[in-house]
């Protein structure tokens, strides 16, 4: 051998280095080995079927009002909102729905880049009143979120919702990608013949998981395809993914959302009702205060389906029998109730009227 | 042979300066100014977002400031438009001092120059580029021994009386022209920038503005918008949401990377060789009252002044005034105190003009002159326009647009939906990197005119929402129309597949909606009646905002509804569609035209 002799130490370190390298390569190959390719790997793990029932915790006597409306002047939107909520329980008001320490998620409609007066989005004054009532009832935290069609920052800003949220000390949750999770919306594959549409779908899950109570506040609007966009259609904003496919079965999707999401309380903001050119509107002449009622109105309800039916008839002036998603939703919720869930879903609002479960007040 | 640094046995070329900051030194002040300027620039770029602008409308007066003080932008747009637009008057605060002080902008203000200077300081060492001709070894900053040796050498030099005129003819230090590592001395390649400037200004004379391709501020802004910031945003979607997309971002990014990396080989390659703004400021500094002056009586020809010279302006010999960045490194480096920044130094000590022959400049100018007919007669900006060239709302007519747009891409940065994109030859060579709308990426938000608010040159006018929507006193003029939507009946779900949809109608923001639905009942395959709503576009109502295209669920390479530039209202010489209504009313018996009249065809 020529040159310097290899020392024992060098021999061992070099030998060990090569052996360790070979071992790491082999172990890495073994650990990462995948005979199936992408198809065999689980994609994002699906969440268990369904969402929390945010209505579960509410104690609600059988005879208590299911729907309450309040009318008043443009300048008194906060009072109207309070009156509507208190109409459901004159003694406890919001405290019936929100307990001390609750984390409340409020879902307004901020779907479009429109100023509030065009009625395409939730009026910030209604939102402010609801946030304030939640705080008064002892909510630990109030979250506000929506996943608008247009850029979220611009929509929250133009609709005045970001300022309302900031002014009341609530927190705006932007629909950032990491807040979504793939949800199995039902435990079986959807059956299109049975009016089912949603299967696995990305949901704005993070705020929903954090919240203990859920309140939807939706403007009452005409809709080009569904005919109406009220509290049930408002749940679109809790979903992600390619929502533009929903339109291919819009009534099935809206009724699926009615089944999937069981809110604590829903509020229909009819301070300005969009009677035509919905859901975007664009002109003052497209909206009327309170719609067919003619005065700014706020409707609070524990039964979202009845709320949509009532608004469709009394504010938009149309026949709920012609709105397919109402009956579909009622049917799906009935099945859920039969399976033991605590839900309300009556598409015939007159049934409540007959029982005296609709209250109204005028300011 | 005079005593050169080599004779001392050890390499003695070193930084005379200490690495520690000395606050009284002018170069320290310069570095602070450069840092502040770069920070301001970066802050302005960062603040150029719709949300910030919405919250703080006064920002719009500040965001474009760096582009507005750029004399090349104002002079070139003055050549194309014969006006100085709004904030461009601010360029006088750079232009006028340049006439007295020289190219101080390059050494003190320009953020792109500072970036190059920083990278050069970080990475470049003399001789690192060409191993065969290694220069002196890298000096150890702050090396006390070297410094002491320096002082000793300086003292020796003084004692031995080597100062004076003899040194001019004798051997120089290792940094003499023959042996100097690339980039420490003036190079004839530095003439190139004057030719670039001449070509671009000649092209501007005819009305095609190309300075933005190489103007350092436009270039840096475009690189930040198109490549740097998206690259920073991409790994952190939880912080920034989905990263913004930009057509051809790879080229914008690698161009920045390549130009900055050139500092490894050739210090401040861009500033010295390519920068048309530097060339302009170099020409303007011809009459500068103040400049760097070397006292030949004190100079001992050690050549240290060349080592850190930013502009390669030969401070050791006759100063090339047009190349000097007024960085003061040479003054700081001179151990003899032979260099100074003086008022009215003797004229013959400097070369005042650029080192470019008239012939070369004329040739470059001719290239610029020919550029105009060659690009214009391709027809992309006139009759053979691409219907994909949809300009942002408030954009002026195409030919005027090409006179104004400096491709700084600020509009692209500020757009809330990311719909504005740097063009990749859709508007021809002339419009490279100018803003066009891509509705697959975003749509034009109805209540937004942010792009016009930040445009420094008026290529996109700062219109109000009322004017954009045609409200109030703009009612007669009508809304700004970007183009017209067309339905592809072979791809549309209800029209061709019997599947309910009309998302386009739902999202259409005009009132009444430009997209309307026709209720029909068809017989489905299974024989049952099928109620469908079929979309139609009302060309009198469509403003071409593109939200229908963006939201269309048919997401192939062409959506089932798409917007083209036809019917755009910015075309002044052609009546907009709705003003044609009287014509159409007169022809009421004739069937309604299926397409809007092509607005730009036959326009010019």
Alpha-carbon span B230 to B468, nearest angstrom: 29
Those residues of chain B whose CB sits closer than 8 Å to some CB in chain A are: 50-51, 54-55, 237-238, 241-242, 416-417, 442-443, 445-448, 493, 499-503, 505-513, 517, 533, 547, 551-553
Q: Which residues contact B420 (CB under 8 A, 6 or more apart)?
A: B392, B411, B412, B435, B436, B437, B442, B451
Q: Can you tell me the mean pLDDT for B64-79?
A: 95
Q: Can you tell me the mean pLDDT for B478-502?
A: 94
Residue of A nearest to B237 (CA): A177
Tell me what the pLDDT averaged over chain B comes to.
Answer: 83
Whether residue A178 and residue B237 make contact (CB cut-off 8 A), yes or no, is yes
pLDDT along chain A (363 residues), means of 10: 74 91 95 74 66 88 91 94 95 94 96 92 97 96 94 89 95 91 88 89 93 97 94 95 90 95 96 94 92 95 96 96 95 94 92 94 91
CA distance A288 to chain B (A): 15
Q: Can you tell me the mean pLDDT for B380-403?
A: 90
Whether residue A128 contacts residue A269, with contact meaning beta carbons closer than 8 Å, is answered with no
By DSSP bridging, strand B484-487 and strand B561-564 are antiparallel
Residue B181's pLDDT band (cuts 50, 70, 90): low
Is 70 exceeded by the pLDDT of residue B109? yes
Nearest to A244 among B500, B510, B553 (CB): B553
- For chain B, the structural domain boundaries read 22-131+192-351, 479-604
Alpha-carbon span A50 to A52, nearest angstrom: 7
Whether residue B241 and residue A248 make contact (CB cut-off 8 A), yes or no, is no
Give the model's pLDDT for residue B486.
95
> What fold is seen in the domain A64-362?
Rossmann fold (3.40.50)
Q: Please tell me the least confidently modeled range out of A113-117, B185-189, B390-394.
A: B185-189
Residue of B nearest to A284 (CA): B511
- When scoring A109, A111, A113 by the number of chain B Cβ atoms within 10 A, the one with the most, hence best to mutate, is A113
Whether residue A220 contacts residue A311, with contact meaning beta carbons closer than 8 Å, is answered with yes
| CA torsion, ordered A329, A330, A333, A337, to nearest 10 deg | 180
- For chain B, give the percent of residues with pLDDT over 90: 54
Residue of B nearest to A278 (CA): B506
Whether residue A277 and residue B505 make contact (CB cut-off 8 A), yes or no, is no
| Interface A:B, Cβ pairs < 8 A | 99
Residue B49's pLDDT band (cuts 50, 70, 90): confident
CA distance B237 to chain A (A): 7
Give the model's pLDDT for residue B476.
86
Q: What is the distance of C-alpha B432 from the center of its chain?
A: 12
Whether residue A113 and residue B445 make contact (CB cut-off 8 A), yes or no, is yes
- When scoring A109, A112, A118, A150 by the number of chain B Cβ atoms within 10 A, the one with the most, hence best to mutate, is A150
Residue numbers in B near A281 (CB within 8 A): 511
Higher pLDDT, B349 or A104: A104
Before A279, cis peptide (omega within 30)?
yes
Alpha-carbon span B339 to B332, nearest angstrom: 9
Is 80 exceeded by the pLDDT of residue B594? no
By DSSP bridging, strand A265-274 and strand A213-223 are parallel
Residue numbers in A near B513 (CB within 8 A): 224, 277, 280
Whether residue A154 and residue B445 make contact (CB cut-off 8 A), yes or no, is yes
Written out in words, the top-level CATH class of the domain with range B479-604 is alpha beta
CA distance B238 to chain A (A): 6
Give the model's pLDDT for residue A45.
64
Residue B6's pLDDT band (cuts 50, 70, 90): very low
CA distance B227 to chain A (A): 21
Whether residue A248 and residue B553 make contact (CB cut-off 8 A), yes or no, is yes
Alpha-carbon span B315 to B341, nearest angstrom: 11
Whether residue A177 and residue B501 make contact (CB cut-off 8 A), yes or no, is no
Q: Can you tell me the mean pLDDT for B386-397?
A: 93
CA distance B239 to chain A (A): 8
């Amino acid at each position: 051998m020529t040159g310097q002799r290899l020392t024992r130490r060098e021999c061992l370190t070099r030998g060990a280095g090569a052996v360790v390298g070979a071992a790491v390569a082999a172990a890495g190959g073994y650990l990462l080995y995948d005979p199936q390719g992408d198809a065999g790997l689980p994609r994002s793990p699906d969440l268990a079927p369904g969402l929390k029932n945010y209505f579960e915790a509410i104690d609600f006597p059988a005879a208590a009002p299911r729907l309450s409306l309040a009318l008043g002047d443009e300048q008194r939107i906060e009072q109207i909102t309070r009156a509507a909520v208190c109409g459901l329980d004159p003694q406890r008001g919001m405290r019936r729905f929100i307990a001390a320490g609750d984390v409340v998620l409020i879902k307004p409609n901020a779907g479009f880049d429109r100023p509030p007066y065009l009625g395409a989005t939730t009026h910030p004054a209604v939102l402010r009143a609801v946030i304030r009532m939640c705080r008064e009832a002892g909510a630990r935290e109030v979250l506000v979120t929506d996943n608008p069609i247009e850029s979220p920052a611009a929509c929250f800003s133009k609709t005045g919702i970001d300022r309302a949220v900031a002014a009341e000390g609530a927190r705006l949750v932007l629909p950032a990608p990491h807040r979504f999770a793939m949800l199995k919306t039902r435990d079986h594959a959807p059956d299109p013949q049975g009016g089912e549409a949603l299967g696995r779908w990305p949901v704005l899950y993070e705020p929903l998981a954090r919240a203990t109570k859920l309140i939807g506040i939706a403007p009452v609007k005409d809709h080009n395809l569904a005919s109406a966009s009220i509290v049930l259609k408002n749940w679109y904003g809790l979903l992600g993914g390619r929502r533009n496919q929903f339109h291919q079965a819009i009534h099935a999707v809206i009724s699926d959302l009615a089944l999937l999401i069981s809110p604590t309380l829903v509020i229909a903001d009819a301070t300005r009702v969009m009677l035509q050119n919905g859901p975007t509107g664009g002109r003052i002449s497209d909206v009327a205060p309170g719609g067919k009622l003619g005065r700014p109105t706020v409707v609070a309800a524990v039964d979202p389906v009845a709320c949509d039916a009532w608004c469709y008839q009394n504010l938009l002036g149309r026949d709920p029998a012609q709105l397919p998603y109402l009956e579909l939703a009622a049917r799906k919720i009935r099945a859920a109730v039969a399976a033991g869930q605590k839900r309300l879903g009556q598409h015939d609002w007159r049934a409540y009227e007959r029982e005296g479960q609709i209250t109204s007040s005028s300011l | 042979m005079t005593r050169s640094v080599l004779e001392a046995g050890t390499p003695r070329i070193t930084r005379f300066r200490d690495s520690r900051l000395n606050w009284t030194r002018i170069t320290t002040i310069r570095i602070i100014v450069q840092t502040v300027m770069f920070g301001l620039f970066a802050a302005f770029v960062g603040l150029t977002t719709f949300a910030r602008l919405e919250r703080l409308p006064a920002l719009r007066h500040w965001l474009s400031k760096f582009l507005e003080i750029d004399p090349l932008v104002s002079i070139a747009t003055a050549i194309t438009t014969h006006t100085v637009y709004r904030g461009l008057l601010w360029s006088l605060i750079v232009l006028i001092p340049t006439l007295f002080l020289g190219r101080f902008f390059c050494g003190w203000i320009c953020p792109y120059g500072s970036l190059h200077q920083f990278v050069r300081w970080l990475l470049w060492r003399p001789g690192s580029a060409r191993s065969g001709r290694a220069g002196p070894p890298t000096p150890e900053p702050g090396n006390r021994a070297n410094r002491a040796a320096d002082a000793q050498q300086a003292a020796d030099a003084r004692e031995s009386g080597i100062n004076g005129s003899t040194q001019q003819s004798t051997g120089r230090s290792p940094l003499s022209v023959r042996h100097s590592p690339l980039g420490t001395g003036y190079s004839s390649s530095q003439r190139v920038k004057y030719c670039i400037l001449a070509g671009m200004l000649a092209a501007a004379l005819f009305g095609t503005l190309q300075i933005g391709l190489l103007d350092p501020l436009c270039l840096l802004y475009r690189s930040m918008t198109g490549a740097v910031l998206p690259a920073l945003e991409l790994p952190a979607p939880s912080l920034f949401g989905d990263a913004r997309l930009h057509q051809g971002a790879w080229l914008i990014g690698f161009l920045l990377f390549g130009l900055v990396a050139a500092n490894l080989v050739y210090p401040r390659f861009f500033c010295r060789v390519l920068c048309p703004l530097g060339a302009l400021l170099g020409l303007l500094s011809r009459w500068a009252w103040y400049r760097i002056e070397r006292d030949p009586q004190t100079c001992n020809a050690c050549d240290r002044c060349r080592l850190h010279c930013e502009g390669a302006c030969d401070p050791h010999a006759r100063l090339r005034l047009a190349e000097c960045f007024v960085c003061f490194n040479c003054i700081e480096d001179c151990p003899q105190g032979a260099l100074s920044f003086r008022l009215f130094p003797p004229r013959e000590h400097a070369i005042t003009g650029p080192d470019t022959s008239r012939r070369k400049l004329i040739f470059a100018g001719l290239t610029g002159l020919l550029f105009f007919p060659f690009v214009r007669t391709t027809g992309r900006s006139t009759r053979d326009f691409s219907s994909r060239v949809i300009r942002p709302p408030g954009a002026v007519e195409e030919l005027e647009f090409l006179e104004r747009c400096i491709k700084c891409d600020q509009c692209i940065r500020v757009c809330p939906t990311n719909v504005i994109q740097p063009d990749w030859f859709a508007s021809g060579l002339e419009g490279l990197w100018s803003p066009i709308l891509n509705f697959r990426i975003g749509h034009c938000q109805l209540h937004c005119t942010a792009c016009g608010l930040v445009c420094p040159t008026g290529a996109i006018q700062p219109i109000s929402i009322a004017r954009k929507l045609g409200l109030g006193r703009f009612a007669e003029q009508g809304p700004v129309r970007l183009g017209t939507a067309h339905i592809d009946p072979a791809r549309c779900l209800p029209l061709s597949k019997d599947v309910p949809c009309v998302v386009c109608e739902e999202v259409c923001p005009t009132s009444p909606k430009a997209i309307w639905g026709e209720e029909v009942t068809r017989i489905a395959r299974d024989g049952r009646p099928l109620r469908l709503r079929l979309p139609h576009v009302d060309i009198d109502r469509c403003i071409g905002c593109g939200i229908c295209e963006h939201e269309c669920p048919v997401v192939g390479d062409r959506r089932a509804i798409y917007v083209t530039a036809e019917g755009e209202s910015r075309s002044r010489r052609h009546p907009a569609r709705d003003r044609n209504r009287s014509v159409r009313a007169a022809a009421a018996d004739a069937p309604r035209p299926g397409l809007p009249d092509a607005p730009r065809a036959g326009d010019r």
